[in-house]
Amino acid sequence: MTFCSQGLGIEASNHLGVLMERGHLSCSNQVGALIPKNGRIDWMIEEGRWVEQGELLAVLDGEDLRENIENLKGEISQLEEDLELLVLENQMKQEKNMRSLEINQSELDNAKLNLNDFIAGASPHERRLADIQILKAEIELEKKQSQLERQASLVEKGFSSRTSLEPLEIALQSAELSLETKRRTRAEMDEDPLPEKLEELKAEVEKWTGVVLRFGERSERKVRIDELAEQEKHLELDIKRKRLRKMNQELNNTKVFASKSGLVKATKRRDWSKGGGMVKLSVGTKVYKNDKLCDLVDPSRVVVTVNVHESDANKVEVGQQAEVEVPAIGLLVDKALRGEVSYVSAICKDMSVLSPSDRLYAIEHGQGYFRVVVDVLEERKDYLPGMSAWVSLPFGEHEGSK
């Protein structure tokens, strides 16, 4: 619509008139916050709130998921305890097996040593010791004989009784027996090993060799079985931990965060359960992955889009100064904001951009409209997308004003 310049708040004294068009505020710099997974909205931030980057915008239902996570945490904790106990038991088994193996090996070593000693016979050192023992026994025997002879002489001369000879005779017999034993032992050292004793010692070595081998094989099998049991527990624990990480990731996907700072602008979509009308998303709404939850609007660049009648199209051009009134926040004529035309469509737009009444009028009269975008040059945070706004566009100049 067109007015003359007089009586308007805009400084239009040098202009022939002013176009007054009604439009709506919108922000040219905005991003959509997308739903990360299918679900229902449990909580959602209210429209019009200013949010900072990273601030929570909405939470999707995740009660079942949280319960499953807690149950899985309990399973992992129990599995960790079981694994720790299993490792401790296996260590105790291995220590016990090692002690038993050492005992068996010691018995085998002793059996081998006895066999080798028997086959080798007495050593030169042992032979020398035996010779010395024989020499001592011979000296002792001579001593006992000498004592008995002196005492017998005294008895014959009547200086002593016959009974005094008995202890000396017994001592002499003992010395003879000792010498005979030592000589027999020394003779055995030079003889060949007895076949029966040799076979006995060989059988002892074979017995303990078999014990050590069988015990070692059984121990290796048991150790391998225990290791496989540990590996199975570790594998089960790794699988459950991976499931937990995945479930925590899914739980994190039940939250929608702001990717940038801005004003929250609600998203509308068709609700076919209510006749196909456009409704805003709200708590309880069923949503799907990659649905738009809301828009985050940066009000630093606000524009007003208006439709200019084709008869006034020649009165508007890019760079043209304008004033913008926003009644909803008290920005009327005396507080109008400065603006500038940033876009004028090159062709006449179809009538779908018009309101129903304007569209009907345009159809009846065969008229069209051009789309005009006006940038608001002043920054404010109380703008809300969708607010109604009036745009004043002065045009033409009086003669002599140049």
pLDDT for 143-195, tens place per residue?
Answer: 989 988 888 888 888 888 888 888 888 888 988 999 999 888 888 777 666 67
Q: What is the mean pLDDT of residues 222-251?
A: 92
Distance CA(132)–CA(49), nearest Å, equals 115
Long-range contacts of 1-6 (CB under 8 A, 24+ apart): 2/312, 2/315, 5/394
Q: What is the mean pLDDT of residues 105-111?
A: 90
Calculate helix-pair angle for 195-252, 63-120, nearest 10 degrees: 170
Options 3.40.50.2300, 3.65.10.10, 3.30.70.141, 2.40.30.170; which CATH number does 2-60+262-395 get?
A: 2.40.30.170
pLDDT above 70: residue 46: yes
- What six digits make up the tokens of 191? 């003889």
- Sign of the alpha-carbon torsion through 169, 173, 179, 183: positive
Q: What is the pTM of this model?
A: 0.43
pLDDT above 80: residue 134: yes
Distance CA(380)–CA(292), nearest Å, equals 26
pLDDT of residue 9: 47
pLDDT above 60: residue 63: yes
pLDDT in tens, 346-372: 888 655 555 565 555 555 555 678 889
- 294 within 8 A of 256, measured Cβ to Cβ: no
Task: Say how far residue 66 (Cα) sits from the centre of its chain.
Answer: 17
Residues of the chain with CATH 2.40.30.170: 2-60+262-395
Q: What are the distances in angstroms from CA 294 to CA 57, 194, 385? A: 9, 104, 12
pLDDT of residue 5: 41
pLDDT of residue 356: 60
Calculate helix-pair angle for 166-189, 124-156, nearest 10 degrees: 160
> Which has the higher per-residue pLDDT, 278 or 245?
245
pLDDT above 60: residue 13: no
In this prediction, residue 250 has a pLDDT band, given cuts at 50, 70 and 90, of confident
Query: What is the percent of the chain with per-residue pLDDT over 90, rounded to a whole number?
Result: 29
